[in-house]
Structure 1
């Protein structure tokens, strides 16, 4: 039988699936020197603590000082929240972060009909100076850094904080912290607005000016991309729209007569840290570089501190799942590590049970311990910007900057961020991105562990934080008692001072501080401003 010659079969090459980031940036299989051949190290990276601050705002970063571990908390009434703050401080938290309930956020007192059933539910209920005193009872306000997540009523809540500090003998010039005070993102993504944009911006610049002269260590705004990201924006959109808001605030401050080199260092930012680990690291680096160029080239800043983008980070609440909630501990740890590698100045880590309820003491402690493990065990803080020079990280940083800059150009072409919001452009872009991401989940193109893949059948009971239903009627009774015993003439005169300032264009902050000292409530002051400013009606985006 004749021998046969076997013809070798060419092996079929495996199919390599395409990949992209959550911002739809295509990801190559391998990156190398060619991807950075046009990179100018000195111009685009430089040294940490030097323009353009890509590598960090401090030359020593965490070797000199760790980020502030600021756990966001607030529930029920002031006493309950005060207990949680003291617990967190005892466990190693280095800064407080106050969550207010919905009525406080939108300027309604706890006995208002619109507050029914919402008092103390998503944060602490604050109606008066007495509530604020209870909230910080036993806490030295000169020695703790406090962040307050409040926007439409930011002037009122900061006035309450200042008034309490004064009662306790604190020096206003030593008060340290941040008030979110970012109204533009409320119109875009969150919805706790009260007044029309022009009047909302007026209150923001009044707060800028007052703190510039009287509370110089206070960060007067936390320009927030976090809520836009939670609403569904991509990382690129988060950077672009957050910086566009920042540009609007700087323009407004300059028009009100403030010096960019003086108020610029008191601006801070607030970003989310979401699922895509390396994209998030690159996002923070790109945002720093962009803001430095904006402040120098667009606004002529000369003070290096005015060019530094300092930011707080919160891990992504929208990434938490009700299914297999313990897996959220892993998600949060990865996101927290990305924030640290990206150079954050302060950090909140979400608790694993937050998809189900407000965090318990146990889950809040695990969230804090996550930061502490990164800080003291991982070795990551021992060198500055350890991922610098990575072909992929630097390429991604450049691409995010390029795409975010294109968005800024589109916003400018519309006429600025206020016009873009009025036209619904920003909202529509975010809605489109949210829809596309949800489609990818529904079609299993993106995997959510425990949700659309790796599900389990058993249901495990998780102990949840429950707000005592008796807290709401108690809060209402305290409020009514305050109204009975306060000096009516002094109270009425103080509210009239707020109204006069709102009408004549003078700074409202001194008048609001006087009003809260005369026991005017959050709702009463907000209503006084409503009478002058009116209320915002949201444009429908289709």
Structure 2
């Protein structure tokens, strides 16, 4: 793209400029740091020119939006056609309370739902389990049976709303409940739109809401791939998540690498199970974090898109263009929000949301200002939604595709992040793939998290309100608190369901799950059959625990 002679001239010109101009200025006014680096330890120069990109092949590195290698976006006109899905994450207390929040957000212009489940639901326990006590409805909504799911989506037409569910180990059960609710609404499965997270590898690596060992967990995932390819064709069967990897402390380069390594493992598992890559790959989706280093985050999204396209084309031989497209949801970084001066979080979230949009996200959740203190209040979640709407409708960044494309700095960072991520992926390949590299990834994340904290404590990294610009403040008011009595009311509701269902039919349905789990048949049809009989989440997961056992985390130092 650039003439080699011109590149050499620019290189010499830049070196002379640094020697003659920059050095004189810095003698009088020293720079803020001895060296500038991104979170992924990529050096940041004073200025960038075409020389920093070297021999830059436009078609190989960039192309046009909607064309391989998709660096500039997966759609030709991106947000000029329609905005990203504004999908605020919500869920707390009972199904009734969360349904009310869902409907409020839809009334305020949200364009998709995103459901948070409480911890017992995430790890496959009913609210009446001894292990659920004290956690019912605390970090998400409690879902025990189909009866709860019916309430959760009451008066919400599932043929018109796209729903994302952050659920992993018991993803098959929650998806089965969603399909059953839709059927009760008269909506066929082929009309459903949405996503289940269904990413168990990152649970072992970074988050911890796992149930079963890796092998049966991967079997459940590929069963969902196969079932949805035939029965729920518009459903995104997995959201391969870098978000939680980043929240655990990874760098941007590690977030790309470990997420795509997990993606490689899922694709290979599905192929090994006999699935055609071009049948299931178009329904894979990803989930990334929007952190704090503005240009590195924009470059991260672009590098991930380009790298995934190459992996799918060159490693797996995918031919369907949709199989090569990395489509992703973004959430602003919860770990960057502070309990100190929580209103400052509004600015942090706005900039993070802007990074996601400039990076070409397909859907976006903006965190609320009070999330370092409690579940978000209605007022806070409205500010978070309005933040997206201002970005989409008022400031012009959605009017052209990849507006930072061609920036020497952004293109340099995109190349560097791709290189660093690929180095990690090669190491993971040498270990036999992501399932065999869990401890390696944990150690890398822990080392990065430790360095990040050290930088804050040494004030190498400034956090407004935490280690600089500190001020006294009044205790926060009007925080959302979940009523402790909720647990008892949820248990009473579950007891009523269990007492009034057909016990014989429930028993038969659970036994069919047991038999199928011990065979090679797809589990989805029998799980759907069981939830329709109001078998509970805990009962279904209990049968699978009996067959598969439970995963025990290795302690890594």
TM-score norm. by structure 1 comes to 0.97
- Residue in 2 aligned with 1:487? 502
Say which of 45, 48, 53 aligns to 1:28: 45
- Residue in 2 aligned with 1:95? 112
- Residue in 1 aligned with 2:424? 407
In 1, the alpha carbon distance for the partners of 2:396 and 2:275 equals 42
For 1:193-204, what aligned pairs fall within 5 Å after superposition? Answer: 193-204=210-221
- Residue in 1 aligned with 2:464? 449
Q: Does 1:532 align with 2:547?
A: yes
In 1, the alpha carbon distance for the partners of 2:29 and 2:107 equals 55
Contact 2:86 2:112 in 1 (8 A): yes
Of 489-498 and 12-21, the range deviating more from structure 2: 12-21
Say which of 459, 477, 480 aligns to 2:474: 459
In 1, the alpha carbon distance for the partners of 2:478 and 2:63 equals 49
What's the CA shift string for 1:170-228, capped at 9, x where partnerless? 01100000000000000000000000000110100001111011000000000000000
In 1, the alpha carbon distance for the partners of 2:292 and 2:195 equals 26
State the SS of the aligned residue for 2:335.
Answer: helix
In 2, the alpha carbon distance for the partners of 1:334 and 1:351 equals 13
In 2, the alpha carbon distance for the partners of 1:462 and 1:400 equals 42
Q: 1:468: Cα distance to partner? A: 1.8
Q: Does 1:302 align with 2:319?
A: yes
In 2, the alpha carbon distance for the partners of 1:187 and 1:64 equals 38
Q: 1:414: Cα distance to partner? A: 1.2
Q: Does 1:147 align with 2:164?
A: yes
Q: 1:13: Cα distance to partner? A: 4.3
Contact 2:341 2:473 in 1 (8 A): no
In 1, the alpha carbon distance for the partners of 2:132 and 2:506 equals 23
Q: 1:489: Cα distance to partner? A: 0.7
State the SS of the aligned residue for 1:66.
Answer: coil
- Stretches of structure 1 that go unaligned for 5 or more consecutive residues are 1-9
In 1, the alpha carbon distance for the partners of 2:425 and 2:358 equals 26
For 1:276-295, what aligned pairs fall within 5 Å after superposition? Answer: 276-295=293-312
What's the CA shift string for 1:116-138, capped at 9, x where partnerless? 01000000000000000000000
Say which of 392, 395, 401 aligns to 2:409: 392
Q: 1:460: Cα distance to partner? A: 4.6
In 2, the alpha carbon distance for the partners of 1:40 and 1:48 equals 16
- Residue in 1 aligned with 2:381? 364
- Residue in 1 aligned with 2:17? none
Say which of 68, 74, 89 aligns to 2:85: 68
In 2, the alpha carbon distance for the partners of 1:461 and 1:144 equals 35
For 1:179-328, what aligned pairs fall within 5 Å after superposition? Answer: 179-328=196-345
What's the CA shift string for 1:408-467, capped at 9, x where partnerless? 11101111111111xx10000000000000000010000000000000023253320111
Say which of 141, 150, 157 aligns to 2:174: 157
- Residue in 1 aligned with 2:16? none
What's the CA shift string for 1:486-506, capped at 9, x where partnerless? 111100000001001100121
- Residue in 2 aligned with 1:381? 398
Contact 2:360 2:402 in 1 (8 A): yes
Q: Does 1:506 align with 2:521?
A: yes
- Residue in 1 aligned with 2:537? 522
- Residue in 2 aligned with 1:52? 69
Q: 1:15: Cα distance to partner? A: 2.8
In 1, the alpha carbon distance for the partners of 2:473 and 2:495 equals 48
| Over 2 Å off, 4+ runs | 10-17, 458-462
Aligned residues: 531
Q: 1:155: Cα distance to partner? A: 0.3
What's the CA shift string for 1:8-29, capped at 9, x where partnerless? xx99443333100011111001
State the SS of the aligned residue for 2:398.
Answer: helix
In 1, the alpha carbon distance for the partners of 2:473 and 2:228 equals 54
State the SS of the aligned residue for 1:148.
Answer: strand
What's the CA shift string for 1:320-378, capped at 9, x where partnerless? 00000000000000000000000000000000000000001100000000000000001
- Stretches of structure 2 that go unaligned for 5 or more consecutive residues are 1-23
Say which of 470, 475, 484 aligns to 2:485: 470
- Residue in 2 aligned with 1:496? 511
- Residue in 1 aligned with 2:367? 350
In 2, the alpha carbon distance for the partners of 1:522 and 1:40 equals 53
State the SS of the aligned residue for 1:152.
Answer: coil
- Residue in 2 aligned with 1:3? none
In 1, the alpha carbon distance for the partners of 2:307 and 2:477 equals 43
In 2, the alpha carbon distance for the partners of 1:463 and 1:236 equals 39
TM-score norm. by structure 2 comes to 0.95
- Residue in 2 aligned with 1:4? none
What's the CA shift string for 1:110-161, capped at 9, x where partnerless? 0100000100000000000000000000000000000000000000000000
In 2, the alpha carbon distance for the partners of 1:517 and 1:143 equals 23
State the SS of the aligned residue for 1:34.
Answer: helix
Q: 1:255: Cα distance to partner? A: 0.8
- Residue in 2 aligned with 1:37? 54
Of 321-330 and 36-45, the range deviating more from structure 2: 36-45
In 2, the alpha carbon distance for the partners of 1:226 and 1:278 equals 18
Across the aligned residues of Structure 1 and Structure 2, the Cα RMSD in angstroms comes to 0.9
State the SS of the aligned residue for 1:465.
Answer: coil
In 2, the alpha carbon distance for the partners of 1:493 and 1:175 equals 28
In 2, the alpha carbon distance for the partners of 1:379 and 1:460 equals 38
